[in-house]
Amino acid sequence: MHSVATKTIHYNSTRILSTILAASTLLPPSSAFLRLSSPHIRRQQRRFNTTTRTLNIMSDTSKKPRTTEALVKGAAGLTTDDQANAEKRRKEGEFVRGVSTARNWIEDTEDAPFPVASGRYHLYVAYNCPWCHRVLLGRAIQGLEDVVSVDVLFPTRSTDDEPLGANLWKFEKDGQVGQNGKFVSFPSCTVDTVMGKKYVKEVYQAAGIDDQKSVPILFDKQTKQIVSNESAEILRMFGTVFQTISTQTLDLYPEENRAKIDEVNDFVYKAIANGAYKAGFSSKQEVYETAYASFFDGLDKLDDMLSSSKFLVGESVTEADIRLFPPLFRFDPVYHSRFKLNKKLLWEYKNIWRWMGDMMALPGMEPVSNEEYLQHCKQGYFGRTGNGTVPVGPPGYPEAYKHKHWSH
């Protein structure tokens, strides 16, 4: 569904630049081009910059990827595991993540199948899902809360005795009795306010997609189509094409740092974000031990990287930081025990701990990193395995992330 030609984008950006130049001739000679004072002109300049960035980002991805290889390495870099011999590797104990196949792109052109627009798009998310978390972080930090609406799923999935079967994301606004026999509910959980469905799988089916059941979903309320279910690409859209209508001026994917951001993103995905699952969901001891070692090697490298800069790629927050935050937010309270990643706690990495405090202090972070958010995570990871017992502790999280550790 995504097929806007390069020359169309180029024409649009040229038209925007012409508008900027025409308007700039009305300013006094002392007004430098890069310091235009008119809000309208600044918006047009910003839109031109964003459109140019979009052209560069999508130079090789302006059509929906058709091959598995193109989906694994998508428009925002590495998105999942290499799918070669996936079933064989699973049988040998390795966790191999599947592929998100709904991969369209929102564009800043009026004739695009999915144009940038306020109020048109909607997110289906689960707070306990780290891939949803990165998308919600981008929405919050970019100030898109009034631009993109959201519905929140219950953190525990369906069971065998439900109509569509087990292991499906579902809406339970009023809560339910958990696997441990205790009733649990969350104020932030909603119903499906757009399609009125009970299960996410039904949202996919209504949009003509039968092979997917994951979240997040970026949904077009106007056409009732799924724009994307790949979190890396949704985050990239929020940080680029949505800049023209965001309330913040952050550039999460600046031109001069793109190569480095892409490099860090791939490393974080392999070693940390997906690396945690490689350890936690492995079914063979030797596979787990390999993933365990790789994960902590990754944390060592991150701590060293953050010894010389405030954020992962310089002194300003970028997309790379947003993609790292969800697994580290979960590490001490969840992954340390649930995924058997128990070599160290996060406070033992001085620079990472400082970085966590800087991330927690960013504008817009509180609703997507508070105590209830963490409780969703604990319920989702612990409440659907074994006897479903959800740990009470550790005490003090996530508030502890905001403060310098006494040992530092």
Mention every residue, 6+ apart, whose C-beta is less than 8 A from residue 152: 125, 126, 127, 186, 188, 189, 190
Residue with tokens 């209508």: 245
List 127, 199, 253, 277, catalytic entry: 277
Hey, what are 208's tokens?
């003509």
Structural tokens at position 380: 């989702």
User: Is residue 124 within 8 Å of residue 216, measured between CB atoms?
Assistant: yes
Nearest to 78 by CA among 268, 327, 308: 268
- CA distances 175 to 47, 123, 156, 188, Å, are 43, 20, 10, 11
Paired with 125 in beta bridges are 152
Start-end of H helices in 142-274: 200-206, 231-239, 258-268
CB under 8 Å to 290, separation ≥6 — which residues?
none
**What H or E segment, with its residue span, contains residue 292?**
helix 285-305
**318 vs 239: CA distance, rounded Å:** 9
Cα 27 → chain centroid: 41
Distance CA 405, CA 305 (A): 19
Q: Is 349 a catalytic residue?
A: no
> How far apart are the C-alpha atoms of 55 and 61, rounded to whole Å?
10
- Residue 277 a catalytic site member: yes
Catalytic entry in 129, 132, 189, 377? 129
Q: Which residues belong to the active site?
A: 129, 277
